[in-house]
Amino acid sequence: MNCKTCLVDAGKRMLHSGLTVDTWGNLSLRDPETGLVYLTPSAMPYDVLTEDDIVAARLDGTVVEGTRKPTIEMEMHLEILRARPELRAVIHTHPIDSQVFAVLRRPIPPISDEAAQTLGGTVSVAEYGLPGSPELAENAVRALGNGCACLLANHGAVCVGASLEQAFKVCTVLEVTAKIYRMALAIGEPHVISDDLVAAMRDFAVNHYGQDKR
């Protein structure tokens, strides 16, 4: 499946998974063969996207394919992919529970095995920047670091992966973790898994879990 088809399908999946509403959020996918980054267009409903609506750009921001305006957050996607050459996919979402902590500007710690294995350590909050601004792109890269996800203050979340499937897993686990954390805080103080145990579980998930790993 080519990158354009993957993004069209991924846009519908993001919308119908409750990870965003209307035309908010955006996705990108890097082609490992050409180095081009394919992005969803700006302000177009995901249910009606076609391959012709997908835009392709070089890492320097030069658009080389497509006639649509790319997502307003193109620079954030490219900045992340420039900083993290091991990544292929970036998904920016607007899910409710993750946004609760984004507007609180409160990081989400590893409070479950799933969070430790998939997200690694604490999910940080990027400093506020206007949508589409260079400041937001820089802040997102800084908050993401070498991790899998970050929150954007008063905005939403950014999740990354070596594939779209991996990035979607991060999105899903982040939102579930945010919901559990919010509910637990309403009752008491959640216990956070220690850094050494998080590191052990993350290593297991990345290097040993699955039929194709030892």
DSSP secondary structure code for residue 191 in this structure: P
Element (H, E) at 149: strand 149-152
**Residues taking part in catalysis:** 73
Separation between Cα atoms, residue 196 and residue 39, nearest integer Å = 37
Separation between Cα atoms, residue 117 and residue 206, nearest integer Å = 8
Chain centre to alpha carbon of residue 143: 12
Alpha helices in the chain (DSSP H): 3-16, 74-83, 96-104, 113-119, 134-144, 164-187, 195-207
Q: Which residues touch 56 (CB under 8 Å, ≥6 apart)?
A: 3, 36, 37, 38, 39, 63, 64, 65, 66
